[in-house]
Structure 1
Amino acid sequence: MSSTQERLVIIGGDAAGMSAASQARRLRSPDELEIVAFERGRFTSYSACGIPYWVGGAVDERDDLVARTPEEHRERAIDLRMRTEVCRIDVPGRRVLARDLEGGEEYWTAYDKLVIATGARPLRPSLPGIDAPGVHGVQTLGDGQALIDTLERTEDRRTEGRRAVVVGAGYIGVEMAEAMIQRGYDVTVVNRGKEPMSTLDPDMGRLVHDAMTGLGIEMVNDTEVTKILTGDDGRVRAVATENAEYPADVVILGVGVRPETELAREAGLPLGEHGGLLTDLAMRVRGHENIWAGGDCVEVLDLMSGRERHIALGTHANKHGQVIGSNVGGSYATFPGVVGTAVSKVCDLEIARTGLREKDALAAGLRFVSVTIESTSRAGYYPGAALMTVKMLAERRTGKLLGVQIVGREGAGKRVDVAAVALTAGMTVEQMTALDLGYAPPFSPVWDPILVAARKAVAAVRADTASS
């Protein structure tokens, strides 16, 4: 490294880390900026969100989920060191201690600028039998491959009557339930919540429950798993709760993730309420001029509640990386926050939400009205029109949009994007009713479901104002 060259060190080789590396390289040449990235796994720049669809067979090959290989990063003058884990950050000394996981060698690497993109780790409940063969998380491509290997062994032994138990009914849980249905398994979902999809209000979660049951999935809500039972061969054979046992050839854990911030904690870097790193708008770690962080290891500002939240999504991670790379590269960019938009599906059921749920609005001290409508994805007379339910929250008196939830069939999920834009713009539900949305019978009724909900919300706000 020359006397004028800076060194950027990146911990983590997936979405946020390598997006930062790529953007910084676009802005600064190798003579100006040396980039060293450490990744403890075997893959870089891949879509973890695509793993359920690979497992279920909608995506053919593992490599289809890889956006850029280590070799492709290296061709862009990024010194990417695979199977290498950073085990210590020395903030005062501006260096990191790395360990080669294949050879065992440990060595220090100095940095001028540091990016922490360590991601999140899946929650693994401390239960008897949790580490038995046949129990799987699905956070990384390696996890996905291990699960597929287990499924193929099960399918080699049995051609019918195969059983899968999914623990948890959030996004990963419902997506993995779909994957198992697609592979021909009998599926049971054991969920500690009263309804699946706790990111929705319970009344909307009940719609998801009913639809999943209609798909042949056994839903066991409001129930805690107490242990994993194993057979004589040591492999999983069932999941036990306080009152029942559910036979299983495979168990899939979908109980959420936590920020992977142990390194940061040990280094004395600031963490938030949810365990994620705290950054400013430029994604710089608070109080540290030369350290940035992004992706699933950080907390982000919820623009609706004004509070920090941990949201593990690839969309945010890639945006964080772009912002970090721009700032490290000498330009300027910010990440202002999120409104909490997410979309998922289980078979033909689409599930979407953005903004606040009722309990979020109550926690934020907001007074609100909520309305729920049913509509169709297309003109009712057009073939393929499918029902959807839209729930909308608006602030009392002002009518400001606070949140939207949608559950329905084809054409339901992505309608949430209209609401996400309206939330970001701070629109009222009355302003939304005048939105010039695209219309043709194959795509929408004359009044789009989002606008139908907005009209009903306007009426609720006016009625509430008149009665108070």
Structure 2
Amino acid sequence: MSAERLVVVGGDAAGMSAASQARRRRPASELEIVAFERGHHTSYSACGIPYFIGGDVEEIDDLVVRTPAEFREQQDIDVRIRHEVVEIDLDRRAVRVRDLEAGGERWEGFDKLVVATGATPRRPPIDGADAGGVHGVQVLDDGLAIRRALDEHKPRRAVVVGGGYIGLEMAEALVKEGLEVSLVDGAAQPMRTLDPDMGALIADALRGLGVTLHLEETVEAFETSDGRIRAVVTPGRTLDADLVVLGMGVRPNSGLAEAAGIAVGPTGGIVTDRRMRTRAEGVWAAGDCVQTRHLVSGEPIAIALGTHANKQGRVAGVNAGGGYATFPGVVGTAVAKICHFEVARTGLNEAEAASAGFETLSVTVESTTRAGYYPGATSMKTKLVVEKRSGRLLGAQIVGEENAAKRIDGLAIALWNGMTAEQMTGLDLGYAPPFSPVWDPVLIAARKAAERVEQAG
């Protein structure tokens, strides 16, 4: 009896997690696994790219968790890098694969398929967005291209377009490399996933680092010369630029699946059930290319994070391998280090909560990361958004210095379990002077939120 064949499209977090989990459940004699990856690397940390650019990580290979050779030798998974799947034929049960090095295309059959095509950086739909010196930040090859540009072209002026996590981390990295950095963003503040009062802290920190912010401005044009970027034009100014980094976020790379007739949702992500199955028989999808369910708003959402990709890939692989696993959804927890600040959020901010139909109350408290008398205590702000009548936690944000951000994990757990502010006041959190004041900032914020709910009646 011949082995079944599982084909995985995409060789990063979701795809290789799926392949590994399927292999754990079925040996190579029962299930042949082939993974196609169009880039040069597999199973890597794209989140580490800004730290590679800024010199905190010395070698790009340090960001690679497992190489194609390791997958082949240790798990009997046939990983083929520089091979791009350009078509899925569900009737034929095959994918058309292009060899990006040797050239040529061929059809590869499958019995089961996992689509893990990731996300694509957003680019403004204007001329010059593909010029030399304009870079997205999504895969390790992007990081290498930026590093090469810094070393070979010696740029002096950089413009970062977009004020999300990657945009801000890249702005800081480029300042560390000695560049004059401007940031353009259409919002009134960077990090629009935070409420304005919390985002203002990040804006001030960036200015203090030397980043020039041009907020509430959009890019109208890219000026180029001999195919390379020379300036970024907004309604208010022209910014000279030797290097441009696009930090405008990403969109699900679902076009391949959609062209094959696999359902795509309103977010642009592939539609799956809780077992990461698509509506096509024998086809799973996972990672940044899919949409999932926000457990607070109940709405579909596409969030590109390695944490979700690994979990979804695990679920897809368990099920493709004959097991049973589910992915329930997300609450949108994220952390970042911007300048001297640690930044964290989970759940909904005020605007998101209002859009989802909630009436809300919010509190913001200032505290310290350690007991005030203990050396190294630094300030932090914690903000909670709760439902007006029930007091149910809807979201939280933290901006602080060292040891602040990971407190978001406790708040994410409370959010996941539908706790109210009043219930949170009794949480048994760890205390010792090097780690927390006797009243942890989370407990102070919960108590203040519970009091507001009681006062509001």
How far the C-alpha of 1:234 sits from its partner, in A, is 4.5
Letter in structure 1 aligned against 2:147: I
Letter in structure 2 aligned against 1:213: R
Aligned partners of 1:174 and 1:345 also within 8 Å: no
Letter in structure 1 aligned against 2:272: T
How far the C-alpha of 1:192 sits from its partner, in A, is 0.8
How far the C-alpha of 1:171 sits from its partner, in A, is 0.7
Aligned partners of 1:303 and 1:339 also within 8 Å: yes
Instruction: Determine whether 1:47 maps to 2:48.
Output: no
Summarize the alignment of residues 158-177 of structure 1 with structure 2, pairs less than 5 Å apart: 162-177=156-171
- What is the match of residue 218 of structure 2? 224
How far the C-alpha of 1:165 sits from its partner, in A, is 1.1
Summarize the alignment of residues 221-370 of structure 1 with structure 2, pairs less than 5 Å apart: 221-231=215-225, 234-285=227-278, 287-370=279-362
- What is the match of residue 8 of structure 1? 6
Note the alpha carbon deviations across 1:207-252, whole angstroms, 9 max, x for none: 2111211222111100011122235x54323221112122222111
Note the alpha carbon deviations across 1:140-165, whole angstroms, 9 max, x for none: 1111111011111244xx8xxx2221
Letter in structure 1 aligned against 2:449: A
- What is the match of residue 409 of structure 2? 417
- What is the match of residue 371 of structure 2? 379
Note the alpha carbon deviations across 1:324-353, whole angstroms, 9 max, x for none: 111112221111011110011112111110
| Residue of structure 2 aligned with 1:18, choices 12, 16, 19 | 16
CA distance in 1, matches of 2:134, 2:280: 40
- What is the match of residue 80 of structure 1? 79
Unpaired runs of at least 5, structure 1:
none
- What is the match of residue 132 of structure 2? 133
CA distance in 1, matches of 2:208, 2:324: 50
- What is the match of residue 196 of structure 1? 190
Aligned partners of 1:132 and 1:230 also within 8 Å: yes
Unpaired runs of at least 5, structure 2:
none
Q: SS of the counterpart of 1:459?
A: helix
- What is the match of residue 112 of structure 1? 111
CA distance in 2, matches of 1:163, 1:430: 51
Letter in structure 2 aligned against 1:20: A
CA distance in 2, matches of 1:236, 1:369: 46
Runs of 4+ in 1 over 6 A off after TM superposition: none
- What is the match of residue 455 of structure 1? 447
CA distance in 1, matches of 2:9, 2:130: 28
Aligned partners of 2:158 and 2:242 also within 8 Å: yes
CA distance in 1, matches of 2:261, 2:227: 41
Q: CA RMSD in A?
A: 1.3
- What is the match of residue 152 of structure 2? 153
Note the alpha carbon deviations across 1:383-403, whole angstroms, 9 max, x for none: 221111111011122111110
Q: SS of the counterpart of 1:144?
A: helix
How far the C-alpha of 1:97 sits from its partner, in A, is 1.3
Q: SS of the counterpart of 1:43?
A: coil
Letter in structure 1 aligned against 2:346: T
Letter in structure 1 aligned against 2:300: E
Letter in structure 2 aligned against 1:121: T
How far the C-alpha of 1:201 sits from its partner, in A, is 1.3
Letter in structure 2 aligned against 1:16: A
How far the C-alpha of 1:92 sits from its partner, in A, is 2.0
How far the C-alpha of 1:204 sits from its partner, in A, is 1.4
Q: SS of the counterpart of 1:402?
A: strand
Letter in structure 2 aligned against 1:283: M
Q: SS of the counterpart of 2:220?
A: strand
CA distance in 1, matches of 2:103, 2:148: 28
| Residue of structure 2 aligned with 1:32, choices 24, 30, 34 | 30
Instruction: Determine whether 1:446 maps to 2:438.
Output: yes
How far the C-alpha of 1:288 sits from its partner, in A, is 2.5
Aligned partners of 1:177 and 1:346 also within 8 Å: no
Q: SS of the counterpart of 1:296?
A: coil
| Residue of structure 2 aligned with 1:205, choices 193, 199, 203 | 199
How far the C-alpha of 1:132 sits from its partner, in A, is 2.3
Q: Alpha carbons of 1:234 and 1:6: their partners in 2 closer, same or farther (altered >3 Å)?
A: closer
